[in-house]
């Protein structure tokens, strides 16, 4: 019997298949793919809808959202973290070399 789609049948196992199988094997939730079999908590749905309606539907700036930066700085300060120097020392870079040192 000929496969229905020559291109896809030649692809083999995809990362989606692998990750879905691993999630099932470990009893985990696969957040890498968006096909839940339920709607989810109402408060999360409403928060997501509100965020979309108020314009927060794009990627954030590279330096991060000010609200998140302030919250991280406050949490670090409350814990007595070495990186509790306020917003100037709070950054979300891709690697340690991208961190703002406040100097």
Mean pLDDT of 69-86: 79
The answer to whether the CB of 70 falls within 8 A of the CB of 81 is: no
Q: What is the pLDDT of residue 85?
A: 53
Tens digit of each residue's pLDDT (9 = 90 or more) over 8-18: 677 778 888 88
| Residue-level pLDDT at 26 | 95
Alpha carbons 26 and 44: distance in angstroms, whole number = 25
| 54-60 mean pLDDT | 80
Is the confidence at residue 97, as pLDDT, over 60? no
pLDDT at 22: 92
């Amino acid at each position: 019997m000929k496969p229905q789609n020559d291109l896809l049948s030649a692809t083999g196992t995809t990362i989606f298949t692998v990750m879905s199988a691993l999630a099932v094997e470990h009893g985990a939730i696969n957040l890498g793919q968006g096909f839940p079999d339920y709607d989810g908590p109402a408060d999360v749905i409403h928060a997501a809808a509100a965020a979309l309606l108020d314009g927060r539907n794009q990627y954030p700036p590279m330096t991060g959202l000010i609200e998140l930066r302030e919250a991280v700085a406050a949490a670090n300060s409350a814990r007595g973290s070495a990186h509790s120097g306020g917003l100037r020392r709070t950054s979300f870079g891709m690697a340690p070399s991208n961190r703002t040192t406040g100097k």
